[in-house]
A and B are shown apart, each in its own frame.
Chain A
Amino acid sequence: MPARYCQDSPDAIASCVLEDMVLLYHRPSGQTHMAIAPVPEILATLDDGAALTAGELLGQLAQLYDLGEPEEALPLVEAHLAELAALGLVRIA
């Protein structure tokens, strides 16, 4: 079974869009993260309590963005999810 990922908690992140990046304030840790695409898009897709596998997430993102071939994009999405989980911004559902 592939892992399902969700946001840390529904209200965990305050975000602020700047010209060249998005600021993410993680309320539980008090840490500020500076993120560029596709990290804010991944987090937005996991909004509203969604718990998705990397493949499902890619499917939803692909409806909005041109991500190239799925077999090349999937490992990148998985890597981003692992990184976000390590930072505490997402967790395995």
Chain B
Amino acid sequence: MNHALTLKIGPATFRIGSAWRQPVDALARLYADYPMPAGAIADFTVRLEPAGPFRRWFRPSIFITGDHGLADAAPMSLAHGLLAAEMGMNLQMALGWRRHLLLHASSVEKDGRALVMTGESGSGKSTLAAQLGERGWRLMGDEFALLDLETGAIFPFPRLVSLKNRAIGVLAAEAPAERMGPLLAGTAKGDIRHLIPRREAIGRMAEGAPPALLLFPRFGHEADVRPVGQGEVFMRLTQASTNYVALGEAGFAALSDFVRNVPARAIDFPSGDEAIALVERLWEELA
């Protein structure tokens, strides 16, 4: 690879190689506060390669690959190279990480305990975590929460927060401009802009916290709070985990302990401000 960067996010070290300079430069700028242990042994390799022999120069088009690849992944335009690198890192984690039970969830920490939020794409879990991260909570991650198999603690994976469409304006109003990445317009998921987590969240990215509350947020509905039975919580978390089956009995033991010990609620909310008030109230009552 002509251009490369080694980057540590939470416990995982990535080596990102690219045929083009732009995506690596964009990553180096946005991940400037993260450890970049040059020469370190990487857990994962991400490669951004031309989609065809001439596509490095002619209508440059990126194919994401690495230790783990998806055969039918669609090539992306070079203008979205930063997104391609981010997707590449997520893909390696989702398919290859085995040291924790990996939950597709956002998480934030306060007073030494973690709040975990999981839901479908568009549920608001990522935006909510990013907003809480600007309002006194420590952002642990907007995409993956890492459940420790031995201790049951949640460990951070605080990559850049991927803000989509309406969430961009919401966070641009709260976070300083120097922590916002470039606007990537017209991607397959609409407009995307990355948010760099606060420096404290990055500095403490090796620090886990015991989980104290699990929420299933749902944006765009009248405010409501519902209890969720442990059986349903277990089923939804196995669906939200990319490596539950691969981890075998260790994953079963960690997840069943989590489900028995962490109170869970489904929350609906019509706006971010109402969601934050609801989260703060539930945290006081249940955590």
Residues of A within 8 A of B (CB): 14, 16, 18-21, 23, 25, 27, 30, 32, 34
- Which partner residue on chain A sits nearest B233 by CB separation? A18
> Count of B residues near A, CB < 8 Å?
14
- Interface contact A23-B256, CB-CB below 8 Å: yes
Chain B residues near A14 (CB, 8 Å)?
249, 252-253
Of the A-B pairs whose beta carbons lie under 8 Å apart in the complex, a sample of 13, sorted by A's number, is A14-B249, A14-B252, A16-B252, A18-B229, A18-B256, A19-B230, A20-B230, A20-B231, A23-B256, A25-B252, A27-B249, A34-B231, A34-B234
Chain A residues near B245 (CB, 8 Å)?
30
User: A9 vs B259: C-alpha distance in the bound complex, in angstroms?
Assistant: 27
- Interface contact A19-B234, CB-CB below 8 Å: no
- Interface contact A19-B231, CB-CB below 8 Å: yes
Contact of A30 among B248, B253, B256 (CB under 8 A): B248
Chain A residues near B21 (CB, 8 Å)?
none
- Interface contact B230-A18, CB-CB below 8 Å: yes
Chain B residues near A21 (CB, 8 Å)?
230-231
- Interface contact A20-B252, CB-CB below 8 Å: no
Q: Chain B's nearest CB lies how many Å from the CB of A67?
A: 23
User: A9 vs B249: C-alpha distance in the bound complex, in angstroms?
Assistant: 16
Q: Chain B's nearest CB lies how many Å from the CB of A39?
A: 13
Chain B residues near A32 (CB, 8 Å)?
238, 252
In the complex, whether B260 has a CB less than 8 A from a CB of chain A is yes
Q: Chain B's nearest CB lies how many Å from the CB of A27?
A: 6
In the complex, whether B71 has a CB less than 8 A from a CB of chain A is no
- Which partner residue on chain A sits nearest B260 by CB separation? A18
Given known A-B contacts A27-B249, A30-B248, A20 and B229 have beta carbons under 8 A apart: yes
- Which partner residue on chain B sits nearest A27 by CB separation? B249
Q: Chain A's nearest CB lies how many Å from the CB of B31?
A: 37
